């Protein structure tokens, strides 16, 4: 009898506990609707888009009294002092004759190579390996966008292919053809000797066939003191006719100078790194160094950046548009409405199971309607990617059971 009464008492007590919890939950959580926002990785850059000038140490090249000048160097090609940079001709007929000479010289080189092995026991496997090696070189150069070098490598491949399919029966006919080509070549050279010449590089440097007439004005020395109004004087410039057929860039260090809003560069210091993405000529982002930031004038400054790489891509153009990135911040993006400040520390509540868990954060920067916060993987108690951040207008605390 006593046992039955004890059992009933336990049941009544448990019922009251459960009922109290349910009543507490209903009154506690009613109206506390919430949503979640996943913490995601985010990267933000501080920078500007602007237009400016490429400046180099350069020397214009002139041809004197030559009637027709044809550069013989590729754009951006390194040239030593005294090496030929251009050929000169009396008229167009002389130029055509020279083109015929060059084509015949190339053809002769290929035929001589093939004939030199006509009596040898060089096997096909060896030639096939040579051909494969040459083809790989052509492919690699093309992938690097070094098209001039790729074209030369493709020309060098021709005699290998010719030799691969030459048999001993063709040797005599090939020799006759070689002798005939040599005689023709000698005649053409004799005719061309008095009608053509060449121009040598006065200094070593990187060749460009583009000369705009500002080689002696827009110089590194000019940028050392240039003011906003002085640099803006060159806005809208075109090419000035000076009689130059090209130029030599005589220094590996080159510059990008632009007039920019003063507020955008007020934190930059000499030596800081800036990543520049140019509109053309360059195929990747160029790391540059802050060389100078001028004093402000009407809310603007002259920004001068420098680089000692990629000179082959920097020899031609004068005016360039560029995206300049001064700094990059990466972290987690968190809505501002999800952030709480408790005892002087900022943090968010994330949903773990059915409970709200407090996680501290370190704010890196303001990103409009959100903050970028630091991603700290040293502890699981910190905010991690894919954590479900709780957004609610109701009361929230660490350990609160979240019921939708």
pLDDT of 24 higher than 50? no
In whole numbers, what is the pLDDT of the chain averaged over residues?
A: 84
Going by pLDDT thresholds of 50, 70 and 90, the confidence category of residue 161 is: low
Distances (CA, A) of 154 to 76, 148, 160: 20, 10, 11
Q: Are 88 and 292 in contact (CB under 8 A)?
A: no
Rounded to 5°, angle at Cα 72 from 75 and 215: 50
Residue 313's pLDDT band (cuts 50, 70, 90):
very high
Q: What is the pLDDT of residue 118?
A: 57
Q: Which of 162-171's residues contact partners 24+ apart within 8 Å by CB, and which partners?
A: 162/110, 162/111, 162/113, 162/114, 163/113, 163/114, 163/117, 163/122, 163/127, 164/124, 164/127, 164/128, 164/131, 166/114, 166/117, 166/118, 168/118, 168/119, 170/118, 171/115, 171/118, 171/119
Say whether 160 sits in a helix, a strand or coil: helix
Does 27 have pLDDT greater than 50? no
Q: Is the pLDDT of residue 119 over 70?
A: no
pLDDT at 260: 97
- Confidence tier at 5 by pLDDT (50, 70, 90): low
Q: How far apart are the two ends of the chain, measured CA to CA in Å? A: 46
What's the confidence (pLDDT) of residue 29? 45
| Chain Cα centroid distance, residue 221 | 27
What confidence score (pLDDT) does residue 32 get?
A: 62
**At residue 162, does pLDDT exceed 70?**
no
Whether the pLDDT of residue 348 is over 60: the answer is yes
Q: Structure pTM?
A: 0.62
Kindly report, residue by residue over 75-118, the tens digit of the pLDDT: 999 999 999 999 888 888 888 888 888 888 888 887 787 776 65
Place of tokens 């000035």: 240
d(Cα 209, Cα 85) in Å, to the nearest integer? Answer: 10
User: How far is it, in rounded angstroms, from Cα 36 to Cα 389?
Assistant: 5
The helix or strand, by DSSP H or E, that contains position 301, with its residue range, turns out to be: strand 300-307
List domains and CATH numbers for the chain.
Answer: 48-60+207-328 (2.40.30.170), 83-200 (no CATH)
The whole-number pLDDT of residue 110 equals 77
Q: What is the pLDDT of residues 140-155, one digit of tens each?
A: 888 777 777 777 777 7
Q: How many CB atoms lie within 10 A of CB 202?
A: 13
């Amino acid at each position: 009898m006593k046992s039955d009464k004890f059992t009933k008492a336990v049941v009544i007590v448990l019922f009251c506990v459960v009922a109290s919890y349910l009543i507490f939950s209903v009154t506690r959580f009613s109206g506390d609707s919430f949503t979640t926002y996943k913490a995601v990785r985010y990267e933000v850059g501080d920078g500007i888009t602007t237009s400016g000038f490429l400046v180099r140490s350069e020397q214009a090249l002139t041809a004197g009294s030559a009637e027709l000048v044809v550069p013989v160097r590729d754009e951006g090609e390194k040239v030593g002092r005294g090496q030929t940079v251009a050929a000169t001709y009396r008229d167009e007929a002389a130029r055509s004759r020279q083109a015929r000479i060059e084509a015949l010289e190339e053809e002769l080189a290929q035929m001589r190579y093939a004939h030199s092995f006509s009596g040898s026991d060089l096997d096909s496997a060896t030639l096939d390996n040579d051909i494969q090696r040459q083809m790989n070189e052509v492919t690699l150069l093309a992938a690097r966008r070094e098209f001039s070098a790729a074209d030369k490598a493709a020309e060098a491949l021709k005699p290998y292919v010719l030799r691969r399919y030459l048999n001993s029966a063709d040797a005599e006919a090939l020799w006759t053809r070689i002798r005939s080509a040599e005689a023709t070549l000698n005649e053409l050279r004799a005719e061309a000797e008095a009608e053509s010449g060449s121009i040598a590089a006065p200094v070593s440097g990187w060749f460009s066939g583009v000369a705009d007439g500002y080689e002696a004005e827009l110089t590194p020395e000019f940028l050392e003191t240039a003011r906003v109004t002085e640099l803006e004087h060159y806005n809208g410039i075109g090419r000035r006719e000076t009689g130059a057929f090209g130029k030599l860039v005589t220094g590996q260090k080159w510059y990008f100078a632009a007039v920019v809003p003063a507020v955008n560069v007020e934190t930059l210091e000499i030596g800081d790194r800036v990543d520049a993405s140019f509109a053309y000529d360059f195929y990747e982002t160029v790391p540059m160094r802050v060389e100078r930031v001028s004093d402000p004038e009407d809310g603007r400054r002259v920004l001068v950046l420098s680089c000692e790489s990629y000179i082959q891509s920097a020899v031609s153009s004068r005016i360039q548009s560029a995206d300049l990135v001064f700094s990059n911040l990466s972290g987690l993006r968190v809505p501002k409405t999800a952030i709480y400040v408790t005892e002087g520390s900022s943090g968010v509540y994330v949903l773990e199971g059915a409970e709200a868990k407090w996680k501290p954060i370190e704010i890196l920067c303001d990103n409009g309607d959100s903050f970028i916060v630091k991603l700290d993987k040293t502890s699981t108690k910190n905010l991690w990617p894919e954590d479900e951040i709780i957004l609610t207008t109701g009361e929230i605390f660490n350990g609160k059971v979240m019921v939708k």
